[in-house]
């Protein structure tokens, strides 16, 4: 028998979450599938989201893989090109590319083909990662408009606080002021803005985390938003034992039993992608009942509290996150975000999709 851990990918949940995005926005949808579709598998996710008008990712090789698999939608490289050598591939496979820096504009000047590139000009409206600062925007826009290699321009920015109380108003106003005189498609809204700020939608929206069934908000659950979890990470109990008061569990003995307890060991650890820093008390389901982790997560195993779960035994199913246990709950307990948990799933975990 194989180790009991697996990740189940619910493709119907992906399609449901795409429908939720459409109910909120009439814009064209650019589904964000970077990081191997947030750990869910690029090709299987793209197929399930085949009704989206576009896909966004980082690596030109992944973009080419989608083209060669038959996807004809707009495919956007979110960080653009990293060397001039990528430009012929971008043109050959009809990819769209972000341009966010003068360095990329300089590389574009060395590219000889005419009217071959669809570019997205990224404007820094306050995120301060990538993008042209306001003073650079007019010159960058004029250069792209007159550049012989450029066929089409889309304007874009990225919100830093769409999922928080501060919202998008300041960045949205800055973007509108900077682009008011330009006739070009626009793209601003991530998942949080798509769901909460209709005024930010423009021609393209870029949902990411919501497509995978997780809420972008701390104060609103995925279920409240109509989203369904796509990834369920599950495993099994491989050992059960009784411990007495004072016994310690796991490396460094971080958990000490305060009374007689029944505990289980689960075949899942940080080598599978479960967060090592998840503390005692991180929620898990055993036979569908909510309980908690105990002690330090090790490479291949973690401890769980079986007290009060009368039918728990070796072989009992354990849900680490997903159906019945929102990934956001686990992430919050572990002091991280749902994105990290899903993206961290390692290659040794078998994936079943249906």
Instruction: List, for residues 288-326, the tens digit of each pLDDT value.
Output: 999 999 999 999 999 999 998 999 999 999 999 999 999
Q: Is the pLDDT of residue 274 over 80?
A: yes
Q: Give tens-digit pLDDT for 50-108.
A: 999 999 999 999 999 999 999 999 999 999 999 999 999 999 999 999 999 999 999 99
Same domain as 340, residue 266: yes
The stretch 190-208 carries a mean pLDDT of 97
Same domain as 262, residue 114: no
The stretch 198-207 carries a mean pLDDT of 97
Q: Active-site residue among 111, 244, 251, 274?
A: 251
pLDDT score of 242: 96
Task: With cut-offs at 50, 70 and 90, classify the pLDDT of residue 16.
Answer: very high
The CATH number that applies at residue 338 is: 2.40.37.10
Q: Examine residue 223 and state whether it is found in any structural domain, yes or no.
A: no
Same domain as 189, residue 86: yes
Q: Active-site residue among 34, 197, 212, 274?
A: 34
The stretch 188-215 carries a mean pLDDT of 97
pLDDT score of 110: 82
Numbers of helices and strands, H then E, in the chain:
11, 18
Same domain as 200, residue 253: no
pLDDT score of 115: 73
% the chain with pLDDT above 90: 97
Pairing state of beta strands 28-32 and 54-57? parallel
Q: Give tens-digit pLDDT for 110-145.
A: 887 777 899 999 999 999 999 999 999 999 999 999
Q: Examine residue 4 and state whether it is found in any structural domain, yes or no.
A: no
Beta strand ranges found along the chain (DSSP E) = 6-9, 28-32, 54-57, 74-77, 96-99, 117-122, 150-156, 186-189, 204-205, 231-243, 248-249, 255-256, 261-266, 283-286, 289-294, 302-305, 317-321, 351-353
Number of Cβ within 10 Å of residue 350's Cβ equals: 12
Torsion of CA 47, 52, 53, 54, to 10 degrees: -60
Same domain as 241, residue 204: no
Same domain as 63, residue 130: yes
pLDDT score of 111: 85
Pairing state of beta strands 204-205 and 186-189? parallel
Q: How far apart are CA 10 and CA 212, in angstroms?
A: 9
The CATH number that applies at residue 138 is: 3.20.20.10
Burial of 292 by CB count in 10 Å (0-12 exposed, 13-18 middle, 19+ buried)? middle
Alpha carbon of 70 to those of 9, 59, 66, 136, 208: distances in Å?
A: 22, 17, 7, 38, 22
pLDDT score of 200: 97
Same domain as 135, residue 23: yes
DSSP letters for 244-293: -TT-EESGGG-EE-SS-EEEEEES--GGGT--TTPPTT-EEEETTEEEEE
Number of Cβ within 10 Å of residue 69's Cβ equals: 11
pLDDT score of 278: 98
Q: Give tens-digit pLDDT for 179-193.
A: 999 999 999 999 999
Same domain as 61, residue 142: yes
Q: What is the residue whose two structure tokens read 């999709």?
A: 353
Determine what percent of the chain falls in helix, strand and coil, rounding each to the nearest 5: 30, 25, 45
Same domain as 236, residue 208: no
Q: Is the pLDDT of residue 37 over 90?
A: yes
Q: How far apart are CA 232 and CA 39, in angstroms?
A: 12
- The count of structural domains within the chain is 2
Q: What tokens were used for 134?
A: 């306001």
Domain ranges, residue 333: 231-353
Same domain as 240, residue 125: no
Q: Which of 185, 212, 239 is the last residue of a domain?
A: 212
pTM, two decimals, is 0.95
Q: How far apart are CA 268 and CA 107, in angstroms?
A: 46
Q: Which residues of 140-151 are buried (b: 16+ CB within 10 A; e: fewer)?
A: bbebbeebebbe
Q: Which of 147, 178, 212 is the last residue of a domain?
A: 212
Is position 34 annotated as part of the catalytic site?
Answer: yes
């Amino acid at each position: 028998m194989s180790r009991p851990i697996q990740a189940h990918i619910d493709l119907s949940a992906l399609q449901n979450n795409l429908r939720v995005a459409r109910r909120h926005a009439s814009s064209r949808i650019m589904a964000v599938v970077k990081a191997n579709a947030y750990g869910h598998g690029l090709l299987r996710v793209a197929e399930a989201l085949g009704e989206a008008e576009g896909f966004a990712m980082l690596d030109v090789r992944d973009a080419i893989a989608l083209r060669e698999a038959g996807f004809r939608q707009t495919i956007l490289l979110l960080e653009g090109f990293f060397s001039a050598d990528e430009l012929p591939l971008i043109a050959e496979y009809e990819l769209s590319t972000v341009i966010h820096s003068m360095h990329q504009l300089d590389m574009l000047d060395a590219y000889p083909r005419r009217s071959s590139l669809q570019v997205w000009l990224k404007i820094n409206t306050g995120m301060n990662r990538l993008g042209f600062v306001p003073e650079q925007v007019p010159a960058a826009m004029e250069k792209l408009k007159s550049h012989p290699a450029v066929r089409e321009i889309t304007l874009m920015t990225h919100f830093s606080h769409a999922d928080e109380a501060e919202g998008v108003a300041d960045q949205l106003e800055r973007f509108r002021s900077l682009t008011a005189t330009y006739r070009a498609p626009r793209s601003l809204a991530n998942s949080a803005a798509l769901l909460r700020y209709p005024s930010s939608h423009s021609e393209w929206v870029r949902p990411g985390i919501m497509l995978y069934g997780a809420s972008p908000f701390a104060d609103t659950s995925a279920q409240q938003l109509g989203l369904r979890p796509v990834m369920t990470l599950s495993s099994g109990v491989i050992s059960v034992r009784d411990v007495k008061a004072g016994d310690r569990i796991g490396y460094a003995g971080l958990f000490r039993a305060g009374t007689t307890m029944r505990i289980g060991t689960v075949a899942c650890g940080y080598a599978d992608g479960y967060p090592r820093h998840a503390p005692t008390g991180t929620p898990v389901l055993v036979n569908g009942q909510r309980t908690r982790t105990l002690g330090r997560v090790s490479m291949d195993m973690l401890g769980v509290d079986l007290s009060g779960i009368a039918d728990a035994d070796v072989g009992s199913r354990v849900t680490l996150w997903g159906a019945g246990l929102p990934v956001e709950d686990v992430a919050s307990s572990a002091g991280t975000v749902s994105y990290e948990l899903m993206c961290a799933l390692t290659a040794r975990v078998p994936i079943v999709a249906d």
